[in-house]
Amino acid sequence: MKNKITLLLILVLTTYSSCKKDLLESTDPNKLTTDKFYKTTQDAIQATNSVYSALNIYNMYMREYWYVLDLMSDEIEGTANLEPRRQQVGNYTMTPNNDLITSLWSGLYMGINRANLAIENIPAIQMDEKLKERLLAECRFLRGFYYFELTTLYGAAPLITKPIVDAYSFPRTPVAEIDQLIEEDFKFALDNRLPKKAEYPSSDLGRVTQGTVKGMLGKFYLYKKRYAESAAILKEIIDSGEYDLVDNYRDNGTHTNENNKESLFEVQMQTGIFGGNSWGNESAGSPNGEGSFRTVEYGLTGFNNVKGSQQFIDLMGDDPRSKYTFYQYGTTIKTSVGGSLVDTPYQDFKRDDKGNLLLDANGKKQAVNGYATRKYNMLDFRASEFDENGDSGINFRVMRFADVLLMYAEAMNQVNGPTPEVYAAVNRVRNRPSVKVGDLPVGLSKAEMFNAIVRERALEFPLEQIRAKDIRRWGIAGPILRAQGKQYRDGVHELLPIPQKEIDANAAISPDDQNPGY
């Protein structure tokens, strides 16, 4: 069992639903209410834990968050097994009625409402003031994080800063106003001196730290093109010596070496909390574990719903990180044969009825399902007989030190061009022991350095829910995605549609408020 923070699923008026049942579930006499809760130190801790646990729900990292973000990029494409509603997201033919779009929106607001409940009620609890400040800082950071994700994906959205306990009517708030709250929340968390990562006991691994907040604030400034501010705060992380790159790039996508020296923020996944698989949705009241469905959805021996796109495989070329992200032909994996696990080369090629390899017009082997995904997969590590399942305990790395280095390089390059500090940050990522692709060529122009950073981020973070946001904020999503055959429309698909269920339920939002093009 992993030794990490236990994210108790406290359902205290915290379920956000984008349907006509309003923001909350119906009253359940078995659930705590605010008049019985928020009395003790333990209540404050559990309320804060519930804000974290919104990251684990079905709508978020249990299933839909990574699915939507990965499909929206050029890293993967669906196999014939992929459900039509997911194919719509991947092909950019989704509508406001697509339930994945609704699910992700609802999941983000569930996190926001839980944070609002904790922020509203913890101050009145009689408890140690230092601990109270820390818990409030954690909740404020997480609320800012949820809003940052929400506005990045959907644009203007209802700005809600108080708990919702009845029918609701909130208009879409301009992104600039929500940005003010995000920055205030992040700065509150920073000013209240959260512990450093090393200062938490092992039982609290996964909690927000000073480094977490600085990293996310640096990313926020970068996205808002406040480059000097971004570079300054990211440099504080680099200079602190608190974080470093792990030697083995593979450690960034498996159940081994989690919460390592490279990790600034991870969603803590854990198996077996409620007895294994559950395909229910927490917002519907079903018991769920704290594992994810990633391995069964993407896994070669699971549903095998997606594969690495040929376009992205070609982009990665012979970079060593490709083999850690996708299974290369000939890679040894464990497959089930006669009730036992057998080492088998991954050779997923088309063959004729006699078993002979079929070649294309260029003499290359023709893949059946392309390159299967390897990152966040368990095939390399199975020690017993089981297929990929829906209770994966592999943590999701939300922010790594490599991201800090490359964001710092990008921000500094925008401010001062390719300085030695910019080269040093990028080259540090390129030369970890398991990668070692060598230094960038010297003498690059500002534009050439930017292009080098764009490529380096593609190589470093595939399948980590970063690429889709990157190509949008850089304004290069259209050509990349259309080259892959996706129906991406400039001026439309920079944002997801506002869910139709939200428009139907929220009296302050009309069809005219929908994002353009939907």
Domains of the chain: 11-192+488-518 (1.25.40.390), 194-268+396-475 (1.25.40.390), 290-394 (no CATH)
Q: In angstroms, rounded to a whole number, what is the distance separating the alpha carbons of residues 441 and 151?
A: 37
Query: Is residue 409's pLDDT more than 70?
Result: yes
Strand 340-345 with 332-337, pairing: antiparallel
Q: In angstroms, rounded to a whole number, what is the distance separating the alpha carbons of residues 171 and 160?
A: 10
> Tens digits of per-residue pLDDT, 136-157?
999 999 999 999 999 999 999 9
Query: Is residue 10's pLDDT more than 60?
Result: no
Average pLDDT for 387-405: 86
pTM: 0.89
Of residues 266, 267, 237, the one with CA closest to residue 404: 237
Average pLDDT for 343-352: 64
Residue predicted with more confidence, 33 or 200 = 200
Q: What is the largest CA-CA distance in the chain?
A: 76
**Could you give the percent of the chain with pLDDT greater than 90?**
69
Query: Is residue 6's pLDDT more than 80?
Result: no
Predicted local confidence at residue 346, as pLDDT? 65
Of residues 508, 466, 286, 281, the one with CA closest to residue 375: 466
Average pLDDT for 387-393: 66
**Beta-strand runs (E) in 339-474:** 340-345, 396-400
> Tens digits of per-residue pLDDT, 18-63?
322 322 232 333 455 566 789 999 999 999 999 999 999 999 999 9
Average per-residue pLDDT for the chain: 86
Residue predicted with more confidence, 115 or 392 = 115
Confidence band for 16, pLDDT divided at 50, 70 and 90: very low
Residue predicted with more confidence, 333 or 112 = 112
Of residues 261, 161, 143, the one with CA closest to residue 211: 261
DSSP per-residue string spanning 209-249: -HHHHHHHHHHHHHHTT-HHHHHHHHHHHHHH-S----S-G
